[in-house]
Amino acid sequence: MKKSLGAKTYLYPAPVLVIGTYDEKGKPNIAPVSWAGICCSDPPCIAISMRKATYTYKNIMLKKTFTISIPSEKYITQTDYIGMVSGKNVDKFAKTKLTPVKSEYVDAPYVEEFPVVIECELYHTIELGLHTQFVGKVINVRADESLVDNEGALDIKKINPLIFTPDTYAYYGVGDYLCQAFSKGESLK
């Protein structure tokens, strides 16, 4: 028997992505988001949802671009901190000692220390309510060379990304490899 829990955004797992933007003076800023995910393969798009009260919201509206840096587990403290304070009041790069790098393809900074970076142009803006969804068209992905295999795929175990639970607001790490998709189901065809 299942218990009814009401209208909640209980979706598992949620990613932890760090959004990089510049303000009108060119100050780089970063903030984590978990209300986010892949939303189209062609053109390649990723959607993130921001509250209007955030500095990141204002910067994206201004510049129409952003980066997504994927933090690995070892940056959990810095990632949590940048979600607790606003770029309105704090230079988060200076405080965390993370390194801002100007993106090659878009007018936004990314985090040098994080293993994977996705450069996005704002493609759609969707007013949803408390959050505004920004659909970013992926212009380029860059990753630490040591993570990339011969086919250009990345090793999730080496990225070691953080996972977020939307009900308990907790961080988790990645679990075990199980099998390839579109393979196991063959036995039931």
Beta carbon nearer to ligand FMN, 17 or 106: 17
State the nearest-atom distance from the C-beta of 9 to ligand FMN, in Å: 10
Beta carbon nearer to ligand FMN, 52 or 184: 52
Q: 90 - beta bridge partners?
A: none
Helix (H) or strand (E) holding 159: helix 156-159
Beta carbon nearer to ligand FMN, 85 or 153: 85
Question: What does the DSSP assignment read for 60-111?
Answer: HHHHSEEEEEE-BGGGHHHHHHHTTS-TTT--HHHHHT--EEE-SSSSSEEE
Beta carbon nearer to ligand FMN, 37 or 184: 37
**How far is the CA of 99 from the CAs of 29, 94, 110, 125, 153, in angstroms?**
11, 8, 8, 29, 25
CA 137/CA 123 separation, integer angstroms: 6
The CB-nearest residue to ligand FMN is 83
State the nearest-atom distance from the C-beta of 15 to ligand FMN, in Å: 9
State the nearest-atom distance from the C-beta of 33 to ligand FMN, in Å: 3
Q: Please list, in sequence order, all residues whose beta carbon lies within 8 angstroms of the beta carbon of residue 8, skipping any fewer than 6 positions away.
A: 166, 167
Beta carbon nearer to ligand FMN, 117 or 164: 164
Nearest Cα neighbor of 9 from 162, 171, 164, 172 is 164
- Give the footprint of ligand FMN on this chain (CB under 6 A): 16, 29, 31-35, 49-51, 54-56, 80, 83, 85-88, 164
State the nearest-atom distance from the C-beta of 145 to ligand FMN, in Å: 28
State the nearest-atom distance from the C-beta of 146 to ligand FMN, in Å: 26
Q: Which two tokens stand for residue 115?
A: 């293993």
Q: 66 and 60 in contact (C-beta within 8 Å)? A: yes
Beta carbon nearer to ligand FMN, 39 or 148: 39
State the nearest-atom distance from the C-beta of 76 to ligand FMN, in Å: 10
